[in-house]
């Protein structure tokens, strides 16, 4: 069964702390993504990676960084957590094109990490 | 401007009613992909369907059907004879090609569907 695993379901951190959110996928996907989900705003892309050590900014990268040292692992880092980063963080992965045959290009999501910054 | 607009924030229906979730998108690409995902109360998003920009055929899967119309840039989702288990947040997404050749999805804000017994 395909799987995207996020290291923590719930975290509580204090303002200014450094926060690491880990994500591992077992499907040999090239692409990995970090989204944050907030009520009324849907899913907003923070960063994505299309290969090891490659990363691209999404729509809201400010205050975040990422690391992809191995193909299966994509980490989201909050260098100095702030209260406005309280949110649900979703990791996802997918194959790259060509989207043919059994590859629909769909994203496979983890269960999410709910971060509260006090 | 949003690339994917789901104008319905919340829809409430009674079981067995039919319900349509609207999705309007905006893109300048000729090749793109449209998706629907379901997020049940448990939280994990689940893929429902993908459509590419060259395939305007409607699709039916059990009680679910999708209507893709390029002329109106819409990709609507209909649930026939809704059930309580259909209660979830549904997201429409548009994938366009980015640098590196990958297709990167942009999501709408979601529509929360509540089906009452």
Residue B117 pLDDT grade (very low, low, confident, very high; cuts 50, 70, 90): very high
CB-based contact A56 B108, cutoff 8 Å: no
Q: Does residue B62 belong to the interface with chain A, where contact is any CB pair within 8 Å?
A: no
Residue B97 is predicted with a pLDDT of 77
Reading the block at residue B82, the tokens are 């809704």
How far apart (Å, rounded) are the C-alpha atoms in residues A20 and B106? 24
Q: Which of B62, B42, B102 is nearest to A98 (CA)?
A: B102
* B43·A112 Cβ contact <8 A: yes
User: E-assigned strands of A1-118?
Assistant: 4-6, 10-13, 19-21, 23-25, 31-38, 42-51, 54-57, 65-70, 73-78, 87-94, 108-109, 113-117
Cβ(B110)–Cβ(B6) below 8 Å: yes
- The nearest alpha carbon in chain A to B107 belongs to A43
Residue B61 in contact with residue B49, Cβ under 8 Å?
yes
Alpha-carbon distance A1 to A116, whole Å?
30
Pick from B9, B45, B50: CB nearest A105: B50
Closest to B18 (Cα-Cα) out of B74, B69, B86: B86
User: How does the average pLDDT of chain A come out, rounded?
Assistant: 91
Report the chain A residue with the minimal C-alpha distance to residue B109: A42
Kindly state the DSSP code that residue A96 receives in the 8-state scheme.
Answer: P
Structure token pair of residue B3: 């690339």
Render pLDDT for A91-105 as a digit per residue (tens, 0 to 9): 999 887 655 555 667
For residue A106, list chain B residues with Cβ-Cβ distance below 8 A. 35, 47, 50
pLDDT, position A1: 67
pLDDT value of residue B54: 87
Kindly tell me the sign of the dihedral angle through the C-alpha atoms of B79, B61, A4, A78. Answer: negative
**Residue B108's closest chain A neighbor by CA?**
A42
Q: Which among B44, B30, B2, B58 has a CA at the least distance from the CA of A1?
A: B44
Interface with B, mutate which of A10, A25, A33, A43 (most B CBs under 10 A): A43
Cα–Cα dist A59/A66, whole Å: 14
- Cis amide linkage into residue A98, ω under 30° from 0: yes
Is the CA virtual torsion B57, B105, B96, B6 positive or negative? positive
Average pLDDT, chain B: 91
Mean pLDDT of the B65-86 span: 95
Give the pLDDT band of residue A70 (cuts 50, 70, 90).
Answer: very high
């Amino acid at each position: 069964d395909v799987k995207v695993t996020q290291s923590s379901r719930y975290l509580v951190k204090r303002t200014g702390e450094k926060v690491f959110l880990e994500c591992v996928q077992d499907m040999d996907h090239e692409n990995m993504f970090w989204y944050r989900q907030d009520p009324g705003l849907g899913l907003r892309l923070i960063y994505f990676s299309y290969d090891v050590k490659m990363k691209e900014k999404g729509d809201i990268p400010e205050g975040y960084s990422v690391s992809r040292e191995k193909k299966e692992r994509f980490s989201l880092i909050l260098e100095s957590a702030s209260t406005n980063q309280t949110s649900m963080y979703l990791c996802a992965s997918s194959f790259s094109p060509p989207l043919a045959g059994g590859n629909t290009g769909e994203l496979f999501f983890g269960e999410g990490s709910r971060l509260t910054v006090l | 401007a949003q690339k994917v607009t789901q104008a319905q924030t919340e829809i409430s229906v009674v079981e067995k009613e039919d319900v349509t979730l609207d999705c309007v998108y905006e893109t300048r690409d000729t090749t793109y992909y449209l998706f629907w995902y379901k997020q049940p109360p448990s939280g994990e998003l689940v893929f429902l369907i993908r459509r590419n920009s060259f395939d305007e055929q409607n699709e039916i899967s059990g009680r679910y059907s999708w209507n893709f119309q390029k002329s109106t840039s819409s990709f609507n989702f209909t649930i026939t004879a809704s059930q309580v288990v259909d209660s979830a947040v549904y997201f429409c997404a548009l994938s366009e090609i980015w640098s590196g050749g990958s297709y990167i999805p942009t999501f709408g804000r979601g529509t929360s569907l509540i089906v009452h017994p």
